[in-house]
Chain A
Amino acid sequence: MPEDPVFLLNNFMKREFNIIIFGIGGQGIITLTRLLAEAALNEGYNAKTSEVHGLSQRDGSVDTHLRFGKEIFSPLVSQSKADLIISLEIQETLKAAYYAKSDKNTIFLINDFIKEIQDSKKFSKEEIIKELKKISKRIFIIPASKIAKEKLNNEVLAGIFLLGYSVFKKIVPLKPSSFLKAILKVVPEKYLEINKKAFSLAEDYD
C-alpha cells in the first residue's frame, strides 16, 4: 500500500492526475490507457491521451500518456510531472526517470517482468530498483505477469491486473466501479469475463 494515499488525493484535487504507461509492443498498453480514460470520464473529469502506432509498435518500446482533471490542454505529460508511472517491463522503467517529480513522490507501479534487449546486457531487477530509488520513495513491484499466467493462463492480462491493483490500493484516485463500467465499454465481449476477473483479482492481492 502507498504510505499516504490521502496526500496524493489532496494533491490531485488541486490540478490534474498524470499517468504514463511504459512497456513493449503487444502488451495491451493502448487498451489500458483507454480504460483509464473512460474511467476518468465516468467520474466527470476531462481526459486526454496520446499514443503511437505503426513502426513504433513492432516490439520496440511503447509509452502512452494519460491526463485527467478539470482542465487539460496537452495530451502529453510534461517532464517531471508524472503522478503515476505504470511499467509493464522493468528495464523500460528506467526511461520514466525523465517524468519523475523532483520531490520523489511519483509512484512507480512495476510489473516484475524482464524482456531481454537484443545485443545488450540484461540489467538485474535489483540493479534497476536501486537506481529508481534515487528518484522515488514510492516503488511497488508486482509479479503481475506471473499471476496472470498462473491464475488466468494469459500473460497479456498482466496489465489489467496491475491496473486493478492501482485502483483497489487507491493509487489511482478513481473508483473500481468506474473501471468496471469502462471495461464493459472498451473490451470486446468475448474477452470481457476474463478481463473483469483479472481486474478484480487484484483486490485481494497484498
Chain B
Amino acid sequence: MEKLLSKKISEKEFLLGNEAIVRGAIEAGVSFVTTYPGTPASEIGDTFFKIKNQKSLPAQAGKIKNSFYFEYSTNEKVALEAAAGASFSGLRSLIAMKNFGLNVASDFLMPLMSSGVNGGLVIVVADDVGCSSSAQFEEDSRPYSYLAYLPILEPATPQECKDFTKFAFEFSEKFKIPIMIRTTTRIALASGIVKFEKISEIKRKAKFVKNPLQFSTMPPRVLEMHRELIEKIKKIQKFLEKNKINKIESGGRSRLGIITSGISYLYVREALKELNLDLSVLKLGFVYPLPEKKIANFIKKLQKVLVVEELQPYLEREIKRIANDANCKVKIFGKDLIPEVGELKPEIVTSSIAKFANRPPSFALVPGLKLKIPKRKPQFCPGCPYWLVFGAVKKAVNPNEIVFGGEIGCYMLAFYPPIDLQDYLYCMGSGAGVAHGISKATKQKIITFIGDSSFFHAGIPALINTVFNKSNPLIIILDNQTTAMTGHQPHPGAPTVPNGIKIENIVSACGVKNLAIIDPIEQEKFIEKIKEFLNKEEVSVIIARRPCIFVK
C-alpha cells in the first residue's frame, strides 16, 4: 500500500482501477473516507483501511496516512450521510460502494442534491455488469443522474480512474455539487499502468458554519433549491462543452462514427484496430450532464452513428433526442446491434461494429468443443461454520414443509447443492421483511437467514417489524464475526472492534423473547432449538455464532 503514498511525481505503478481511485483521492487531498464493502468496489475502502493500519511508514507517507479519516460505516446511506457531514464542514470527502449501495443511499442522496456541498464530495459507485459477484439485479446506476441531477464521470482505464477522481474533487468544489464516479467490474478490477502526479497538501480546519438556508431542505425553500440545482446543471453543461474530458478522436473520411464511454471505449478501440477501420469516435468522460452541442456537432457530419454501451440504452436515448433537437439526418444505432444484458466483450463489439460498417468479421473462430465442463458451483470453504448451520437445519426440519429466506453474503451459497435451502433472495435486510409478509399472509412456517454484517446494515428495522406487527418467522443470524464475502471487513459487532455491539443485546432490545445463542458445532442443541422455536407464536431468533475460518 505504501506505493500509493509515493511523493515521486511521474512514478509509474501497476494498479487496479480501485487502487487508482484511492491514489486519485490522495492526490486531491481527501480528508474523509467512508464505505460499505461490496464487490467490485471493496478494494477502495480496504486500501484506505490498510493505509490507515500500516505501521512504521516513512515520515512523508506517515503524514499522508494521518491526513485523512476512514471508516467502514454500517451501511451506504449512513456512509453518505457521514461523508456529507464532513463536506458541509469544508472537507474533501469520498464514499465508495457497489451499485446496490446507491439504492440504499438514495434516500439521502436526493435532498443532498437540493442543498449541494461545501468540500468536494465524490461518490464512487461500481456496477457489477454481468453479475459475476452479485445476485439481485443487473443494475445500471447511470439513470440515477436523471433522478437526482447527479453529475456522473465514467473512467475507462486505471489511469483515468486516478485522473478523474482527482478532477472530480475540484469539479465538486467548483460547482458545490456531489459528483459520482461510475465504474464497472472490468474497470474496477482491471489493472494497468498509472502515472502519478503531485499530492496536494490541503490543510483545512473543519467547521460546520450554520446556514439553515443551505442545509435545511424545508419547503418552500426546497423549490428554490430545485431551481438552483437546474441552474447549476446548466452552468456545468456550458463548462463541459469546452472541457477535454469528453474527447473526439477523429477518423479519416468515413462518415460513420461511434459514441461510447467507460470500458466500452476500450473495446471499440480494440475492434477498430482489429477491423482496420478509421472511424470518428466520441469518448464521453461525463455521462451526465452531456455536452449536447459537442455531440450535435459530432453527429452532424456523419451519416450513421453507433452508440456502444453496456446495459441500458442510456446514452442512446439521449443521443437520439439530441439528434432530433438539432435536426440531424444521421441514423443512430445502439441496442439493435449491441446486447442489453450481460457484459460486453471485445469480440462482441468487434462483430457489432463490423455489422455497422458492413464489414465481414475479420477473424476465424474455433468451433466449440463437444465435451463441456459442467458449471462449478461456488461452495462454502472447507471448514466453514455455515456447513454446520445448514446441516443442523436440514436435520431439524423437513425442508419441503418450510419456506427458506436467503440474504446477501456467503450464506447465499445455500442456494446451491448440496444445501439447497433458499426459496427467495433479494437485498440485505429483506429476508426477515419478506418472511413477515409471507407469515402474515399464509401462516406457513419460515426460517430466514441473515449474516452479522447484514443484520447491522439493514436487518434491524425488519426484525422490529416482526415484533411490532406480530409474525413468527425463525430468524437465524449467522454470526461469523466478519464481513466474509467481500474480504473480511470489520463490522460493529466484530470481536476486533473495541467495545463492539452485541447482536443479542439489540435483538433483546427489539423485544424478541425467543432468543438463543448457539455455537453450531453443538449440533444437537442447535437442532433442538430450531424445532422448539418453530412452534412459537412469536418471532424467534437464533444467533449461530462461530467465527469464519479466516478470522484470526
Residues of A within 8 A of B (CB): 24-25, 34, 37-38, 41, 46-56, 58-61, 72-81, 91-92, 94-95, 97-98, 100-102, 117-120, 123, 127-128, 131-132, 134-135
Complex Cα distance, B369 from A189, in Å, reads: 43
Determine whether the beta carbon of A134 is less than 8 Å from that of B363: no
Q: Which residues of B contact A51 (CB under 8 A)?
A: 189-191
Complex Cα distance, B417 from A102, in Å, reads: 37
Complex Cα distance, B417 from A119, in Å, reads: 9
Assuming the contacts A75-B186, A78-B347, asked whether A56 and B381 have C-beta atoms less than 8 A apart, the reply is: no
Determine whether the beta carbon of B371 is less than 8 Å from that of A55: no
Determine whether the beta carbon of A54 is less than 8 Å from that of B485: yes
Beta-carbon contacts under 8 Å, B342-393 to A: 345-347, 350, 363-366, 368-381
Determine whether the beta carbon of A76 is less than 8 Å from that of B192: no
Q: Counting CB contacts under 8 A, is B438 at the interface? A: no
Q: From B412, which residue of chain A is reached at the shortest CB distance?
A: A55
The residue from B40, B269, B346, B379 contacting A76, defined by CB atoms under 8 A apart: B346
Determine whether the beta carbon of A38 is less than 8 Å from that of B365: no
Q: From B368, which residue of chain A is reached at the shortest CB distance?
A: A97
Q: Which residues of B contact A135 (CB under 8 A)?
A: 366, 369
The residue from B191, B410, B485 contacting A48, defined by CB atoms under 8 A apart: B191
Q: From B192, which residue of chain A is reached at the shortest CB distance?
A: A48
Complex Cα distance, B191 from A52, in Å, reads: 11
Assuming the contacts A58-B379, A74-B346, A131-B369, asked whether A38 and B42 have C-beta atoms less than 8 A apart, the reply is: no
Assuming the contacts A37-B14, A76-B186, asked whether A56 and B364 have C-beta atoms less than 8 A apart, the reply is: no
Q: How far is the CB of A35 from chain B (nearest CB, A)?
A: 11
Determine whether the beta carbon of B350 is less than 8 Å from that of A78: yes
Complex Cα distance, B378 from A152, in Å, reads: 28
Complex Cα distance, B417 from A47, in Å, reads: 39
Determine whether the beta carbon of B371 is less than 8 Å from that of A102: no
The residue from B191, B269, B380, B381 contacting A49, defined by CB atoms under 8 A apart: B191
The residue from B191, B270, B372, B486 contacting A54, defined by CB atoms under 8 A apart: B486
Q: Which residues of B contact A52 (CB under 8 A)?
A: 40, 132-133, 185, 189
Determine whether the beta carbon of B186 is less than 8 Å from that of A102: no
Q: Which residues of B contact A61 (CB under 8 A)?
A: 375-376
Q: Total interface residues on B, using CB and 8 Å?
A: 51
Assuming the contacts A55-B132, A75-B266, A78-B347, asked whether A41 and B189 have C-beta atoms less than 8 A apart, the reply is: no
The residue from A34, A50, A98 contacting B186, defined by CB atoms under 8 A apart: A50
Assuming the contacts A74-B266, A123-B371, asked whether A118 and B366 have C-beta atoms less than 8 A apart, the reply is: no
Determine whether the beta carbon of A50 is less than 8 Å from that of B189: yes
Complex Cα distance, B193 from A199, in Å, reads: 25
Given contacts A54-B132, A78-B274, A117-B374, 8 further A-B contacts (CB under 8 A): A53-B40, A55-B39, A56-B133, A58-B413, A73-B269, A74-B346, A91-B373, A119-B374
* Among B190, B191, B375: residue with most chain A CB under 10 A: B191
Determine whether the beta carbon of B191 is less than 8 Å from that of A37: yes
Determine whether the beta carbon of A78 is less than 8 Å from that of B417: no
Q: Which 3 pairs between the two chains have the least Cβ-Cβ distance?
A: A54-B39, A54-B133, A58-B378
Determine whether the beta carbon of A94 is less than 8 Å from that of B376: no
Determine whether the beta carbon of B371 is less than 8 Å from that of A74: no
Q: How far is the CB of A14 from chain B (nearest CB, A)?
A: 12
Q: Which residues of B contact A120 (CB under 8 A)?
A: 374
Q: Counting CB contacts under 8 A, is B498 at the interface? A: no
Q: Counting CB contacts under 8 A, is B252 at the interface? A: no
Beta-carbon contacts under 8 Å, B104-134 to A: 132-134
Determine whether the beta carbon of B347 is less than 8 Å from that of A55: no
Q: From A25, which residue of chain B is reached at the shortest CB distance?
A: B378
Q: Counting CB contacts under 8 A, is B487 at the interface? A: yes
Determine whether the beta carbon of B347 is less than 8 Å from that of A53: no
Q: Which residues of B contact A74 (CB under 8 A)?
A: 266-267, 269-270, 346
Q: From B188, which residue of chain A is reached at the shortest CB distance?
A: A53
The residue from B14, B371, B376 contacting A131, defined by CB atoms under 8 A apart: B371
Determine whether the beta carbon of A80 is less than 8 Å from that of B365: yes
Q: Which residues of B contact A131 (CB under 8 A)?
A: 369-371
* Among A25, A41, A73, A102: residue with most chain B CB under 10 A: A73
Q: Which residues of A contact B380 (CB under 8 A)?
A: 58
Q: From A66, which residue of chain B is reached at the shortest CB distance?
A: B191
Complex Cα distance, B16 from A169, in Å, reads: 30
Determine whether the beta carbon of B267 is less than 8 Å from that of A55: no
Q: How far is the CB of A6 from chain B (nearest CB, A)?
A: 23
Q: From B486, which residue of chain A is reached at the shortest CB distance?
A: A54
Assuming the contacts A24-B376, A74-B267, A75-B186, asked whether A97 and B40 have C-beta atoms less than 8 A apart, the reply is: no
Q: Which residues of A contact B375 (CB under 8 A)?
A: 61
Q: Which residues of A contact B413 (CB under 8 A)?
A: 58
Complex Cα distance, B363 from A120, in Å, reads: 35
The residue from A47, A100, A118 contacting B377, defined by CB atoms under 8 A apart: A118
